[in-house]
Amino acid sequence: MHLSRSNPSLGRWLRIAGPAIAAAALCLASGSALADGPVKASASASPSVIHVGESAVVTIELDVAKGWHINSNEPGLDFLIPTTVEFELSDGLSVVGVDYPEPVVRKLKLGGSRSLRLYEGRVRITARLHYERVPAVARPPVAIVHYQACNDTLCLRPTSVRLPIGLELSALDRDSVARAGFNEQAAESIARLVAGGLWVVVPGMLLLGLALNLTPCVYPLVSVTVAYFGRQAGKRRGRMLWLAVCYTFGIALTFSALGAFAALSGGLFGQALTHPAVLVLLAAVMVALALSSFGLYQIQVPGGLDSRLAGAAGGALGAMLMGMTMGLVAAPCVGPVVVGLLVFVGTRGDVLLGFGLFFLLALGLGIPYLALAMAAGSISALPRSGAWLQWTEHLFGCVLLAMAVYFIRPVLPGPLAKWLMPAYLSLAAVYLAFLDPAGREVRWFLRLRRGAGVAALAALAVVYRPLPSGGGDGLVFVPFTVQAYDAARQRHQPFVIEFRADWCLPCKEMEERTFKDPAVVEAGRGIAFFSVDMTRSSPRVNAILKSFDVLGAPTTIFFGADGKEWRRTVGFVGPEDFATLLEATRDPSRRAGLKAPGG
C-alpha cells in the first residue's frame, strides 16, 4: 500500500517525522542497553558538620561517559533540557548560590548549524548552603539534579537524580561549641529537643527526668520519701496526694534552681554537697524527724500562726520544705542528660529557659515519688493496733537516722566514716527485732520481726565482710597530679581519670561493682588510673574540673597512648561496658563503631 500516493499530506508528515520517530525508538533501545545510564552522579559537603551561623559548600559531580554529553544549564536551544540543581532542605537551611561550570561549545548533528553548549567528561557543580537556625523538624538535605544525556545522534529521556548530601547540622552555634568543650554531643541532644517546640520539649524533658530514677543517686530519695510519708499514715487519700504533690514540687524547685545556677555560673551541679555545713544540716534534719518518730516531741506549726495554716496549709508547707531539702540530695543525679542540659543552658545564658528546663526535668524525676508517697501513707489501711503503728513509727525513725549517717559520713575521719554505717545498721536491726517493746504482746508479730532481724544481720555480715587482701582489690586509682598526668603522656601509656565524690552514690556503686570485676581488672592491665576527689570544694579541685570540662560526678575520661581523650562517660557504667572501654583504650582498632555505654 502506498500511503504517500493516497494521502500526500500524510506522506509528507512521515517523511518529516520519520527520522524523529526512529531516533526516539533508538533512544529507548539505547536506554535499555545502558543499564546504569551514561551519567554517574554523587554529592558531598565541606565541611560535613556545620553549626548555626555557618555555611557549607556542596559539590555535585557528574561523570559523563565517553561519547556522551549533557546539556549545560543554558544549552542554547529552547527545546533542549538544561542541567539544573535544586535542593530539599530543612527550615533554617538555605541556598545562597549555585555555580555551574563553563560549557563546551560545539556543533552536533542534532543541532544542525546551531552551536550547542554542552558538558562532557567530569562536571562539577557547586552550591553554598547557609545554616541560619535550628529546624523544628530536621531532615537530611538532598540535592536533585535534572539533566538529559545525548550523543551526536540522539538524546535519552530527561532524568532526575536524588543525591544525599551527607551534611550534618549541629544544634549549637560555634561559640556554644567552644564553651561546651568535650560535652558538645550531650548539649547537642538537648538543643535538638528544645528546637522541637513546646509539644516536644515538655514530654521529652519529663521522660528524661523519669529516666533519672534508674540511677543509684535516687536511693536516698526513696528512703526518705518512704520514711517521711509513712509517718503521715492515717490521713485521707486526697490529703495524702496533696502532700505528695507539694513534696514533689519542693524537689523540683530546689533541683531546678541549683541546676540553672550551676549552668549559668559554670559551677558544679550538686556543689552544695561539697560543703560540710550543708551535709551537717541535712543530717540534722533527718535526726530531728527521726526523734519525732520515736515520740520525743511533736513537730508542729508554731501556735502564733493562723489556725488555717496550721490545719490545711501547714502540712503542705512542711511537705514542700521537706521536698526542697531533698532537692539538694537529688542534685548529684548527674548523667549525660543533666550534663547536656547544663552545657546547653550555660551556652544560651537564659535564666528563665534554664530554670524551666530543669524544672521539667525535676518534675519527671519526682513523678514516681507521688506513687511512692501514696503507697507509704497507705499504712493506715493496715491493722490499726497501737503497738503495730508505734513499731512502724520506730522503723521509719531508724530509716531517717540511717540517712543522717549517710549524709554525715563525708565529713568524718576515714576509719569512722567506713564503719559507722554498718555499726548503726546492726544496732538498728537488733533494736527493731529484739529490744523495741512496741508490739511484743502480739506473738506472731514478735516472731516475724525477730526472723526479719536475724535475716537482716546475716545480710549485713555478707555485705560488709572484710575483703581478702591481695590481687582481688580491683583497679588501683592513685590521686591525680599534674606530674603523674604528664608522666603518663610522656611514656605513651594509656590512662583513665575518674572524678568521684563521697556523696556520689553512682561513684560508690562503680567502686563496689565495676572496679572490682575480674574482667575489668584484666582489661585494665597496662593502663594508669588516676582519681580526682570532688567531695570537698577547693581552688585546686575547681581548677582541675574546669580544665577537663567536668560538670558532675561520676565522670570518667579515657586517654589513649597518644595522650588524647577519646571517650568520656558521665554517670554509672557497668562492668561489661567499662571493660570494653578499657580494651579500646589500649587498642585503638577496637574503637570503630563502639557505642556509648548502654547504647
How high does pLDDT run on average in the chain? Answer: 78
Q: What pLDDT was estimated at residue 595?
A: 62
Residue 107 CA to residue 209 CA, distance in Å, equals: 70
Q: What is the pLDDT of residue 335?
A: 65
349 DSSP 8-state letter: T
Higher pLDDT, residue 331 or 4: 331
The CA-to-CA distance between both ends of the chain, in Å, stands at 78
Give the residue, 32 or 120, on which the prediction is more confident. 120
pLDDT of residue 98: 93
* pLDDT score of 374: 78
Q: Is the peptide bond before 575 cis (omega within 30 degrees of 0)?
A: no
Question: How many angstroms separate the CA atoms of 278 and 419, rounded?
Answer: 22
pLDDT of residue 197: 73
Say how far apart CA 292 and CA 547 lie, in whole Å: 46
Looking at per-residue confidence, does 558 or 278 come out higher? 558
pTM: 0.57
- 211-242 CB burial, b ≥16 within 10 A, e <16: ebbebbbbbbbebbbbbbbbbbbeeeeeebeb
261 compared with 176, residue with greater pLDDT: 261
Give me the phi and psi of 355, to 5 degrees please.
-65, -40
Q: What DSSP designation does 119 have? A: E
Q: Decide the pairing of beta strands 495-500 and 528-533.
A: parallel
Judge contact between 351 and 260, C-beta under 8 A.
yes
Class for the domain spanning 36-172: mainly beta
pLDDT digits (tens, 9 = 90+) for 80-130: 889 999 999 988 899 998 999 999 888 776 656 677 888 999 999 999 999
Instruction: Using the structure block, give the residue that is written with the C-alpha cell 570540662.
Output: 549
Which has more pLDDT, 33 or 451? 451
* Distance (Å) of CA 373 to CA 319, 388, 555: 11, 20, 32
**Nearest Cα to 120, choosing from 154, 74, 72, 60?**
72
pLDDT of residue 597: 56
Cβ 191 vs Cβ 171: under 8 Å: yes
Rounded CA-CA distance 525/529 in Å is 10
Q: Which residues pair with 59 in a beta bridge?
A: 44, 126
36-172 and 471-590 have identical folds:
no
Give Cα separations from 565 to 283, 338, 582 (angstroms).
39, 21, 13
pLDDT at 345: 76
Most confident of 108-112, 468-472, 542-546: 542-546
What's the pLDDT score for residue 33? 36
Task: Provide the pLDDT for residue 468.
Answer: 54
Residues 6+ apart with CB under 8 A from 324: 250, 251, 253, 254
CATH classification for the domain delimited by 471-590, as one of 3.30.465.10, 3.40.190.10, 3.40.30.10, 1.10.3720.10 = 3.40.30.10
What's the CA gap between 272 and 265, in Å, rounded?
14
In this predicted structure, which of 227-231, 541-545, 581-585 has the lowest mean pLDDT? 227-231
pLDDT digits (tens, 9 = 90+) for 137-174: 778 899 999 999 988 778 888 999 999 998 988 776 66
Residue that is written with C-alpha cell 511537705 in the block: 319
Domain range annotation of the chain: 1-33, 36-172, 197-411, 471-590
